[in-house]
Amino acid sequence: MSKMVPLPSKSIVPERDVNKPPILETNHLGIDFGGLTAVDDLTLAVGRTEIAGLIGPNGAGKTTVFNLLTNVYQPTRGDIMLDGVSTSKKSTAQVNKMGIARTFQNIRLFGHMSVLDNVKVGLHNLTKENLAVCLTHLFGYRKTEKQANEQALEYLDFFGMADMANFPAGSLPYGAQRRLEIARALATKPSIILLDEPAAGMNPSETAELMNNIRRIRDNFQIAVMLIEHDMNLVMNICEGICVLDHGKVIAKGTPDEIKSNPTVIEAYLGKKNDKKVEAKEGETNAES
Ligand SMILES: Nc1ncnc2c1ncn2[C@@H]1O[C@H](COP(=O)(O)OP(=O)(O)OP(=O)(O)O)[C@@H](O)[C@H]1O
Ligand SMILES: [Mg+2]
């Protein structure tokens, strides 16, 4: 892991990323839902190959941040820059094309479609133009289709799932469905992938495998990863920079060691960690859009 260095914005990024602009930046980002301020004054930066964490108690606003970053919601205040370009007024699909991919707190797959076709939905983002052209050139279309199959298989192979390619996605065990959702997001060739509670519902060996996979994603694709997670073992082991939200506001930013020993974080979150885990399990249906 590289040393973390501070930026003028008071965010921190890994030393290896510091000579290039952050892949993602938010400036004083905020959103109100009626009278409720769900996120307020969020200023953060994620380095280009950073594994970043976003943590905080239930209802702190973490998923709302992901919904803002992917333009599911329009911010009430502030802005978002992806690789130096504002994502304001873009659609969710456009933001995905610009380089942000995500997975969801509750798995969203096309359960009746094959595993392979689920990944091809991700690839489709990139082959849409080709498809339009190729519809009038059947040979070309077949070639594109063959390429899409090969590429999709490569993503599955990355997660050791190539042998499941023809199964209906909905028939896979839970952990495999989570991996498939990540594979589909990666197939859109993002420069940053957002993972919303990727370890939720996983047993310890699946969580250990996930940790390894998150590092492999960063190393192999040389992209940034930002994850929301309640599993503090996972967060403290793999995240480089961590941002802690409470009631929609940033209460701390720092390295795992800094966050673990921060009294405000312990008071608001870590001290109650065990309660939160129980709550997270009980309240698995949630307010996510
Ligand atoms: N579309 C919406 N309309 C109204 N309120 C919303 C909406 N989306 C989120 N909220 C509210 O914003 C707050 C933050 O919710 P959010 O889902 O972002 O929390 P979270 O940190 O992801 O929590 P958890 O750890 O339980 O997933 C909550 O009070 C939630 O009820
Ligand atoms: Mg959430």
Distance CA 282, CA 286 (A): 10
121-144 per-position pLDDT tens digit? 888 765 444 445 545 555 555 668
Q: Is the CB of 54 under 6 A from ligand 1?
A: no
**Residue 221 clears pLDDT 80, i.e. is over it:** yes
Query: Which ligand 1 atom lies nearest to the CA of residue 288?
Result: 17
Residue 273's pLDDT is 53
- Per-residue pLDDT band for 198 (boundaries 50, 70, 90) equals very high
The residue whose CA has the least distance to atom 19 of ligand 1 is 59
* CA–centroid distance, residue 113 to ligand 1 (Å): 30
Rg (CA), the chain: 19
Residue 133's pLDDT is 52
Find out whether 225 and 218 touch, Cβ atoms under 8 Å.
yes
Residue 126's pLDDT is 52
**Residue 237 clears pLDDT 90, i.e. is over it:** yes
Unique residue bearing structure tokens 């994603």: 217
- For 203-272, give the DSSP string: -HHHHHHHHHHHHHHHHHH--EEEEE-S-HHHHHHH-SEEEEEETTEEEEEE-HHHHHT-HHHHHHTGGG
Q: Choose which residue among 39, 58, 64 to substitute to test ligand 1 binding: the one with the highest number of ligand atoms within 8 A of its C-beta.
A: 64
Q: Is the CB of 62 under 6 A from ligand 1?
A: yes
Query: Which ligand 1 atom lies nearest to the CA of residue 230?
Result: 25
CATH number 2.30.40.10 is the correct assignment for the domain at 4-99+190-288: no
Residue 138's pLDDT is 53
**Residue 281 clears pLDDT 90, i.e. is over it:** no
68-78 per-position pLDDT tens digit? 999 999 999 99
5-53 per-position pLDDT tens digit? 999 888 999 999 999 999 999 999 999 999 999 999 999 999 999 999 9
80-127 per-position pLDDT tens digit? 999 999 999 999 999 999 999 999 988 899 999 999 999 998 887 654
Which has more confidence, 144 or 217? Answer: 217
Query: Which ligand 1 atom lies nearest to the CA of residue 61?
Result: 18
Distance CA 74, CA 172 (A): 34
- Per-residue pLDDT band for 278 (boundaries 50, 70, 90) equals very low
Query: Which ligand 1 atom lies nearest to the CA of residue 67?
Result: 18
Q: Is the CB of 30 under 6 A from ligand 1?
A: no
Q: Is the CB of 178 under 6 A from ligand 1?
A: no
pTM of the model: 0.90
Boundaries of CATH 3.40.50.300 in the chain?
4-99+190-288
Q: Is the CB of 63 under 6 A from ligand 1?
A: yes
144-196 per-position pLDDT tens digit? 888 899 999 999 999 999 999 999 999 999 999 999 999 999 999 999 999 99
**Residue 289 clears pLDDT 80, i.e. is over it:** no
Q: Is the CB of 201 under 6 A from ligand 1?
A: no
Q: Is the CB of 26 under 6 A from ligand 1?
A: no
Residue 58's pLDDT is 96
Distance CA 43, CA 254 (A): 13
* CA–centroid distance, residue 38 to ligand 1 (Å): 7
The residue whose CA has the least distance to atom 11 of ligand 1 is 38
Q: Are strands 24-33 and 36-46 parallel, antiparallel or unpaired?
A: antiparallel
Ligand nearest to the CA of 284: 1
Q: Is the CB of 288 under 6 A from ligand 1?
A: yes
Residue 145's pLDDT is 83
Residue 9's pLDDT is 85
Residue 279's pLDDT is 44
Ligand nearest to the CA of 39: 1
Q: Is the CB of 284 under 6 A from ligand 1?
A: no
* CA–centroid distance, residue 80 to ligand 2 (Å): 20
